[in-house]
Structure 1
Amino acid sequence: MRISRRAVALAAVLATVLPLSACGGGSDDGSSDASDAVKGKITFQTWNLQANFKDYFNGVIKDFEKEYPGTEVQWIDRPAEGYADKLSADAAGGTLPDVVNVSPDLVTPLAKAGLAMDLDKDETAAAYGKEYLPGAWRSHQIPGLQGTYAFPWYLNTGPMFYNKRLFEEAGLNPEKPPTTYDEVFESGLRLAEQSNGKIATLAQVPTIEDFGRYGASLMNKDGTGFTFNDAKGVEMLTRYKELFDKKALDSQALTATPESSGTKFLTESVAMNPGSALDLEKFKKEAPRLYKNIGITDQVTSTGKVNMYVMGVMVNARTKQKATSVAFAHFVTDKTRQMSFAKQVAIFPSTKGSLDDPYFTKEDGTDETRVRIAAAKSLDSAVNYTPVLFSEQMKTELRNQVAKALQGKVSPQEALDRAVEACDKLLKQS
């Protein structure tokens, strides 16, 4: 299950929120007082999970309250629609829950406003850091700020599907699919040439994650400006234009969506496409020839590290029950609970060692397991390439400029320079 990362407009509201407007209690630096004890009532908010996982979370809460007598956890679940707005309203009104389900982009404005607890400053919370994959722990760190602002929870990623038949017909080895961008570009030109432009390799224009996986620098270290218009970024976009000109990038890529790209792959007019176990089931029912020739490999990357999406659990910096909130946030995200959750839904644990479990390594002949194992192999060193400060508006600006470059209206360098300029302006406005 991938919960989409929604656009966030919290910063403008939170810029006016005084630190003491949130729930009171606790020390100003986010550390727990020595007198803190795991006791008392806290509130825990999730993001669109109650409908499908009510029994699971009620069980987690019951287990926590049993392990820590004298505690009580009130569970609040909010719908996906308007979740960011609700966080904004709670932050401004001083009603932010004690423990909150967030993604990196959602926690960023809260951290800037002093409302997300810095786990690295709390002795107990910081000690838990070694239990998580390093890349997952870093995913809730924010350029320009020192610290880590949420426990990493579940991860998501997906493998790359490819059509073995199309590769073989183009004279390419179907058992050795391209794994780097250079290899994709070379294979793409070969496929397009051999099919007289009828078979494209990819169906979507490059995203910010692609620039990251290619090796471009995305943002400066202090978080004050974007840098994906560097030599690597220009080089990648130049190569994409070559694909587009030679019909190795689908002609409708400029307006493609994940759904339309999936359809292109389903009809075998595109040779490669990212996906999930749900796609395999669809191929099996709707495109048996494709299913018979399906190949599964890692995401394409030239850095050696694939992209991952991550959810987190944040502690309100002003909670009145800091020790209990930290204990519960860790309890929800510890190895036992994450493994249990991963066996109920198609996500991956962020805790060290979990991906070595037979559930993520042992084949059983099912499509779901094939994809799960392929994805899990890549997560140990995966990173979240999307900058936490990169908003939906910024994604649109980048996409528009990439389209202009592919159409030849501007050069790749000019397109990325314009995109960086627009994104920097939006960054200052936030």
Structure 2
Amino acid sequence: MRHMRSGLWARWTAAAVAALTLAGCGLGGAEDSGPPGPAATGGQVTGKVSLQTWALKPKFTAYMEGVIAGFEKKYPGTQVEWLDQPGEGYSEKVLSQSAGGTLPDVVNLPPDFALPLVRQNLLLDIGASDPAASRDYVKGGLDAYRFPGRQGTFGYPWYLNTDVNYWNGELLTAYGLDPRKPPASLDQLVAAARTVKARSGGRTYLMSRKPNLMDLANAGVPIMSPDGRTFTFNTPEAAAVLDTYRAAFKEGLLPKDVLTETYAGNTKLFSSGTAAWTTAGANYITSLAVDNPTLAPKVVPSAPMGTPPLYVQGLSVPKTTRNPAAALALARWVTNAENQAAFAHETSIFPSTTASGTDPFFSRSDGSNAGDAKVLAFRSLSSARVLEPVQANDAIKTLVNQQIALAVSGRTGSKEALDTAAARANRLLED
């Protein structure tokens, strides 16, 4: 999931980041978390300003046009040019624009796309340009745009999501487990998986995925050094996590093909009834109702085990903008509480403003399991944080996952696999 869309949300861990703290003061309107005025930017909000988004057309064209019309009405004399880039190749497009000096005034950048621009000193520090941002946006969303070794905050958080646990309540009950008191730790998960295997005759799995960097982070393992220059996940604690999975795999508690490149994935196994647990975004039950309407009512959601991951999209302002006052104002407007709440009504995202903390649309369930999942996800955002650093690009994650697979399979020792993965990942960082 390169960015947060299922229609808009897919599992986009490359842009996954940061913790947040939700403070509730009621949902405000556009005026409540309005854009910064001349005092914040030293200029008048007027003139032409361009906004680039990522794959919002055509599904969200009407929404974005309404947001833009509202901005132009609030600030007479402004004119917004909306540019929407296709989903495929977006990161390459942004790098090409930055190299050519043609970045729009406001650019939709997840943190991993923002990082190379920050390294080139191309993005405004919105913390310095707009000090009120620290009050109006959740801390973790802002932390997503703060990078080790760099002073500043280089984007406004736009929309957020996280993962929830989903359990097949019917299967757990059949195997003597209480779906309302599901496992809350890795050790409990292994114990429950052992019960499921024994009572199902090996027909059903509870555990159905191999570990990754996020699992190591959830165990308290520091994935990187504080300066963001070195991977440090090759610790005894990380090796212990892999040892636990290796023992579970040897015991037959995970599917035999879980370590292969052709593995279907735990969500697919869950949907088919072969696995009794999966993790997914807050709207998973709604989509499952389309794929497997018989299973969807039997699903019981629960809060994530350990620290929830946070996935975020944001808007950054390049230093090359010729209209910083209008650019900052526009980024603020698009990401204010009212506009984010309206966006959330159209797709499965959560807002990043502190004013959204007690909005009943997010904080109250309608009594359905899908409604419960949404509330669980929203509440868990208060403790969510970065579990996979943005420096861990696709190439690095691929080699790490390969070494983890070797360790879980028993073909190499856990510490040895982690040492190899860290050394190779650090070489890639130097390239």
- Give the TM interval when normalised to the shorter protein: 0.7 to 0.9
| Cα displacement (A) at 1:381 | 2.1
CA distance in 2, matches of 1:109, 1:132: 23
Q: Deviations over 1:241-300 (max 9, x none)?
A: 111111212222113689632221123221210134664346546656633432111122
Moved more, 353-362 or 152-161: 353-362
Counterpart position of 2:124: 117
Q: Answer yes or no: is the 8 Å Cα contact 1:151–1:314 preserved in 2.
A: yes
Counterpart position of 1:148: 153
Which of 209, 213, 226 pairs up with 1:208? 213
Q: Answer yes or no: is the 8 Å Cα contact 2:41–2:324 preserved in 1.
A: no
| Cα displacement (A) at 1:117 | 1.2
Indicate the SS of the match to 1:52.
coil
CA distance in 1, matches of 2:336, 2:211: 35
Counterpart position of 1:331: 333
CA distance in 2, matches of 1:347, 1:423: 32
Counterpart position of 2:49: 42
Counterpart position of 1:371: 373
Indicate the SS of the match to 1:160.
strand
Indicate the SS of the match to 2:245.
helix
CA distance in 1, matches of 2:247, 2:355: 42
Q: Answer yes or no: is the 8 Å Cα contact 2:94–2:103 preserved in 1.
A: yes
Q: Answer yes or no: is the 8 Å Cα contact 2:161–2:282 preserved in 1.
A: no
Q: Answer yes or no: is the 8 Å Cα contact 1:140–1:150 preserved in 2.
A: yes
Indicate the SS of the match to 1:106.
helix
Which of 68, 81, 88 pairs up with 1:61? 68
CA distance in 2, matches of 1:290, 1:196: 21
Q: Answer yes or no: is the 8 Å Cα contact 1:310–1:384 preserved in 2.
A: no
Between Structure 1 and Structure 2, how many residues are aligned? Answer: 402
Counterpart position of 2:195: 190
CA distance in 2, matches of 1:3, 1:163: 22
Q: Give the letter for the 1:219 counterpart.
A: M
| Cα displacement (A) at 1:202 | 2.1
After TM superposition, list the pairs within 5 Å mapping 1:81-230 onto structure 2.
81-122=88-129, 125-230=130-235
Residues 278/255 of structure 1: CA separation in 2 closer, same or farther (3 Å cut) = farther
After TM superposition, list the pairs within 5 Å mapping 1:207-286 onto structure 2.
207-255=212-260, 260-276=265-281, 279-281=284-286, 283-284=288-289
Q: Give the letter for the 1:186 counterpart.
A: A
Residues 220/228 of structure 1: CA separation in 2 closer, same or farther (3 Å cut) = same
Indicate the SS of the match to 2:322.
coil
Indicate the SS of the match to 2:69.
helix
Residues 269/141 of structure 1: CA separation in 2 closer, same or farther (3 Å cut) = same
Q: Answer yes or no: is the 8 Å Cα contact 2:163–2:308 preserved in 1.
A: no
Q: Given the two structures, how large is their TM-score scaled by the length of structure 1?
A: 0.87
| Cα displacement (A) at 1:421 | 1.0
Residues 143/183 of structure 1: CA separation in 2 closer, same or farther (3 Å cut) = same
Residues 245/34 of structure 1: CA separation in 2 closer, same or farther (3 Å cut) = closer
Residues 34/375 of structure 1: CA separation in 2 closer, same or farther (3 Å cut) = closer
Residues 343/286 of structure 1: CA separation in 2 closer, same or farther (3 Å cut) = closer
Residues 324/235 of structure 1: CA separation in 2 closer, same or farther (3 Å cut) = same
Q: Answer yes or no: is the 8 Å Cα contact 1:212–1:218 preserved in 2.
A: yes
Counterpart position of 1:382: 384
Moved more, 389-398 or 223-232: 223-232
Residues 340/198 of structure 1: CA separation in 2 closer, same or farther (3 Å cut) = same
| Cα displacement (A) at 1:167 | 2.4
CA distance in 2, matches of 1:72, 1:132: 26
CA distance in 2, matches of 1:417, 1:92: 36
Counterpart position of 2:427: 425
CA distance in 2, matches of 1:4, 1:279: 11
Q: Give the letter for the 2:216 counterpart.
A: F
| Cα displacement (A) at 1:330 | 1.1
Q: Alignment identity in percent? A: 34
CA distance in 2, matches of 1:168, 1:340: 39
Q: Given the two structures, how large is their TM-score scaled by the length of structure 2?
A: 0.87
Gaps of 5+ in 2: 16-37
After TM superposition, list the pairs within 5 Å mapping 1:391-410 onto structure 2.
391-410=393-412
| Cα displacement (A) at 1:351 | 1.0
Gaps of 5+ in 1: 9-30
CA distance in 1, matches of 2:50, 2:402: 42
RMSD of the alignment, in Å? 2.3
Q: Give the letter for the 1:319 counterpart.
A: T
Q: Give the letter for the 2:362 counterpart.
A: F
Q: Deviations over 1:176-234 (max 9, x none)?
A: 00122232122223322333433222222112222222221111100110111122211
CA distance in 2, matches of 1:45, 1:152: 15
Q: Answer yes or no: is the 8 Å Cα contact 2:297–2:369 preserved in 1.
A: no
- 1:71 correspondence with 2:78: yes
Indicate the SS of the match to 1:280.
helix
CA distance in 2, matches of 1:297, 1:254: 26
CA distance in 2, matches of 1:80, 1:137: 24
| Cα displacement (A) at 1:104 | 0.7
Q: Answer yes or no: is the 8 Å Cα contact 1:200–1:247 preserved in 2.
A: no
Higher RCO by CA contacts (8 Å cutoff, separation 6 or greater): 2
CA distance in 2, matches of 1:326, 1:103: 17
Q: Answer yes or no: is the 8 Å Cα contact 1:281–1:367 preserved in 2.
A: no
CA distance in 2, matches of 1:154, 1:306: 16
After TM superposition, list the pairs within 5 Å mapping 1:337-352 onto structure 2.
337-352=339-354
CA distance in 1, matches of 2:230, 2:283: 38
CA distance in 2, matches of 1:34, 1:309: 29
